[in-house]
Amino acid sequence: MHDLLHELARSASVNECVRIDRKFSGMVPKTIRHMYIELMSPTVVEQISQVKKLRTLIMQFQDQDQAGEELILRKVLSVAKSLRVLSLITNSTCKLPNTVNAMVHLRYLSVIWGRKNMKQFSWFPQSVYKLYHLEIMKFDNPQLTVPVKGEMEGSCNLVNLRHLQLSYGIMAMIPDVGKLTSLCLLYGFRIQQQRGYTIGELKNLKNICHLHISGLDKVNSTEEATEVMLDQKEKLSAVTFSWSPRPEDLLNLGSNSSDSCDPSKAEQILDKLQPHPNICKLKIQGYPGSRSPCWLESLKLINLTYLCLCDCKVLQRLPPIGQLPSLQYLYISNMESVNRVDSSFYGSEKPYGLQSLKVLEIEDMPSCTEWVGLDDVNLFPRLDTLIVRNCERLRRVPSVPISIQHVEIHFTDLRDMPPLSVTSNTSSSSSPGYSLTALEELSIQQCASLSCLQEDFFCSLSTLKTFEIVKCPNLITGEIRLPPTLRSFTLGWCSTAESPLFKSLLGLKSLKRLYLDGCAMLSLPSDVFACLTGLTDIMFIGCAMTSLPSTAAFAGLTSLENLAIWDCKDLASLDGIQGLPSLTLLTISGCNRLVEDMFVQSVESADLSGCTLELRELDIDHPSLLLKDPLQSITSVKRFRVSGGPELTLLPEEWLLRNCQALEEIVVTNASGLQCLPQEMASLISLESLQIFNIQTLPDMPASLSNLRIHNCHSNLKERYKKNGGPDWGKVAYIHDVDIS
């Protein structure tokens, strides 16, 4: 919202709406109807008690403990009985008071937890079930304690409830959900073979829009499924059908387990769960049947735009998806028994294919060897994204349109790139050399059988922005020229093809990101790097190089800000980094030879006269790297992170002091071998944040420190620095945010 519009809204609502924060000063008008509170105080609580027409109350607790929050809630809610909307934002484990049932007009109730990894929150009081006008209730906290048996029984009294947002585990415990006839969204409904949890509970939910049903293996008969009457629920737009993840998991569930695993029974039940034709989104997960439901093989779901079939491991053949005229997004995953996608997939009526499909994603089909197309037919005229992953036996995919924008092929047996459909309508002809004039992203990984990328394939990629080619060891390619539009390039594990592919970057001044993953080249061509003047990010991962490009080559990379070097075991020197004039973030990890070959040298003797690096962030896995040129000469680091471990026995005190005026944050992720922190920590006059794991002792801290987090520390340390009680608490009491655990 524009500032002027915001001021206009505030001035027009000055007597009805108020926001109480640190900037607020004055009295709350008694005419106020809508209130947002960030700063809670006894004065504010008293003023709220004088407001008789309050309809909306949003309270964000910040500095109160649990007892304080609950006291404030009791006082406020005892007088605010005309509320329609109540929303609480808290970091503690506060519980709603029993007097909440006095707010008989409440329509909206929400409790939001701002802190992660907090203690489990106990369940809300039973009095909530007397809020008979409540329409929306949100308690979406994954750490909410699962209620005991019987504690949810009163929820069926909330007959006006339209939206109920709870974690999946708790949603599954709500009995008699069929009495909530106004419900629009129901996620996490799990069928159980006991009263109040059967599939028949869905019969009376005539207003349901979004429905997630799990435990369909617990349905006893087709008659039960028929009674649900999903085909008559006109408002239903999205539905998920889910069985147990693996049919074999059901073998030990009791006397009915054999029936639950019967593919024929599962097929008959799903046939009876035909959704209304208005449905737009459908997901079928863990279906143990060997054939598709009859209603998915007909022309009834004419409005379906999204279809996901996953974990249907017994399904032998994919349904005729081509008969879904509105389908735009298709996701197929983990179909172990499908060994071929044939022409039936495209439907039996013209126009064949998926005429509206935009995104096609297929993964984890280990048995599928072939995916055939149709001659002279453009099967996917509007397709812009094709993703094929983990189909290790797949040798062939159908042609793609020239308008496709994103192609991702990982871990397949493809010999060649997908052919292209040269057409703008339904008819087509295939041409492997035709231009992909709209392609923006191309990713090819783990295609061991891919042997060739033709030179003309790249000639007209006039819009290509991202190109990834990794783990294609049999690839052979000649000299190619990548388009000047390329912004990101990833290369690795491509054997003899690596050198010509890397040289194809010559002259690409527009390239921003370069990732070399497992490249076998022992030395990287400096002439290529010298031309990549637009680079902002470089990452080397597991490369065989023994040295970095020269200082002169790096000097031309005037825009490079981030450099990461991971697991380059043979890298013996960091020489060249000093030539990067704009480098601000440097990460080094797993480069063993850098540490092994290093001679012992004191940071005190470092020569600073030739140091031009202005690093702002440094992330390393071994402190001795700080004795290596050019790192030992740096004086500008603001954020320092070291992963540590048993070999981290001391932090280099001289290096820390050299950066004392710049250092604002230090993170040590594993200080199990660290004997102690340097005694000169108090001299780090700019330090604001310190995070350490597994430390045993603490020295004096600098006065500038505002955030101190110590995790997995020794129990003695925890006791000594216990808030308001430990003997050493006074040493850190001035720090605004302290967490020692």
pLDDT tens profile 236-246: 999 999 997 75
Burial of 63 (0-12, 13-18, 19+ CB in 10 A): exposed
pTM of the full structure: 0.84
| Residues 70-88, mean pLDDT to the nearest whole number | 84
- Asked if the model's pLDDT at residue 535 lies above 50, the reply is yes
Lowest mean pLDDT across 81-85, 361-365, 673-677: 673-677
Q: 128 phi and psi, to 5 degrees? A: -60, -30
Residue 256 pLDDT class (50, 70, 90 cuts): very low
| Residues 271-276, mean pLDDT to the nearest whole number | 95
What pLDDT does 519 receive?
94
What does the DSSP assignment read for 579-622?
G-TT--EEEEES-HHHHHTPPP--GGG---TT-----SEEEES-
What pLDDT does 261 receive?
64
Partners of residue 89 on adjacent β-strands: 60, 112
What pLDDT does 122 receive?
58
What pLDDT does 723 receive?
82
CB 29 within 8 A of CB 58: no
Burial of 335 (0-12, 13-18, 19+ CB in 10 A): buried
What pLDDT does 391 receive?
95
Q: What percentage of the chain carries pLDDT values higher than 70?
A: 89
| Cα–Cα–Cα angle for 220, 222, 224, rounded to 5 degrees | 65
Residue 250 pLDDT class (50, 70, 90 cuts): very low
Q: Which of 688, 678, 682 is nearest to 651 (CA)?
A: 678
Partners of residue 691 on adjacent β-strands: 667, 709
Residue 145 pLDDT class (50, 70, 90 cuts): low
- Mention every residue, 6+ apart, whose C-beta is less than 8 A from residue 244: 215, 217, 250, 260, 286
Please tell me what DSSP assigns to residue 655. H
Instruction: Taking the CA atoms of 643, 644, 645 and 647 in sequence, report the sign of the dihedral they define.
Output: positive
Burial of 605 (0-12, 13-18, 19+ CB in 10 A): exposed
Higher pLDDT, 477 or 92: 477
Please tell me what DSSP assigns to residue 198. S
Highest mean pLDDT among 40-44, 259-263, 388-392, 415-419: 388-392
- Mention every residue, 6+ apart, whose C-beta is less than 8 A from residue 248: none
| Residues 85-104, mean pLDDT to the nearest whole number | 82
What pLDDT does 429 receive?
45
Residue 254 pLDDT class (50, 70, 90 cuts): very low
Burial of 157 (0-12, 13-18, 19+ CB in 10 A): middle
The per-residue pLDDT of the chain, averaged, comes to 85
* Region for residue 633 given its phi and psi (left: phi exceeds 0; alpha: psi -120 to 50; beta: otherwise): alpha
Higher pLDDT, 377 or 308: 308
- Asked if the model's pLDDT at residue 251 lies above 50, the reply is no
Tokens 């453009």: give the residue.
378
d(CA 106, CA 86): 8
What pLDDT does 606 receive?
46
Q: Under CATH, what is the fold of the domain 1-175?
A: 3.80.10
- Mention every residue, 6+ apart, whose C-beta is less than 8 A from residue 162: 135, 136, 182, 183, 184, 185, 207
Q: Which amino acid is located at 368 in the chain?
A: C
| Residues 125-150, mean pLDDT to the nearest whole number | 79
Burial of 641 (0-12, 13-18, 19+ CB in 10 A): middle
- Asked if the model's pLDDT at residue 567 lies above 80, the reply is yes
Domain ranges within the chain, ordered by starting residue: 1-175, 638-741
- Mention every residue, 6+ apart, whose C-beta is less than 8 A from residue 715: none
- Mention every residue, 6+ apart, whose C-beta is less than 8 A from residue 249: none
How far CA 3 is from CA of 7, 8, 9, 37, 292, in Å, comes to: 6, 9, 10, 21, 56
- Asked if the model's pLDDT at residue 605 lies above 80, the reply is no
Residue 171 pLDDT class (50, 70, 90 cuts): confident
pLDDT in tens, 203-234: 999 999 999 999 999 999 999 999 999 999 99
Is 285 in a helix, a strand, or coil?
Answer: strand
pLDDT in tens, 500-514: 999 999 889 999 999
pLDDT in tens, 585-597: 999 999 989 887 6
Determine if the peptide bond prior to 351 is cis (ω within 30°). yes
Lowest mean pLDDT across 323-337, 391-405, 550-564, 638-652: 638-652
Q: What percentage of the chain carries pLDDT values higher than 90?
A: 46
Count of CB atoms situated within 10 Å of the CB of 527: 10
What pLDDT does 121 receive?
56
What pLDDT does 299 receive?
78
- Asked if the model's pLDDT at residue 88 lies above 50, the reply is yes
Alpha-helical runs (H) found in 487-591: 498-503, 526-531, 551-555
| Cα–Cα–Cα angle for 577, 620, 739, rounded to 5 degrees | 140
**What's CA 599's distance to the chain center, in Å?**
43
Lowest mean pLDDT across 89-98, 348-357, 422-431, 725-734: 422-431
Higher pLDDT, 258 or 494: 494
Residue 363 pLDDT class (50, 70, 90 cuts): very high
pLDDT in tens, 401-414: 888 999 999 999 99
- Asked if the model's pLDDT at residue 281 lies above 80, the reply is yes
CB 394 within 8 A of CB 370: yes
What pLDDT does 1 receive?
66
H or E stretch at 713:
none
What does the DSSP assignment read for 59-97?
EE--S--HHHHHHHHHHHHHH-TT-SEEEEEESS-----
pLDDT in tens, 668-721: 888 777 777 888 888 899 999 999 887 877 888 888 999 989 888 878 888 888
CB 303 within 8 A of CB 324: no
pLDDT in tens, 444-496: 999 999 988 777 777 778 899 999 999 999 998 877 888 899 999 999 999 99
What pLDDT does 425 receive?
44
- Asked if the model's pLDDT at residue 385 lies above 60, the reply is yes
- Mention every residue, 6+ apart, whose C-beta is less than 8 A from residue 466: 440, 441, 442, 443, 486, 487, 488, 489
Determine if the peptide bond prior to 630 is cis (ω within 30°). yes
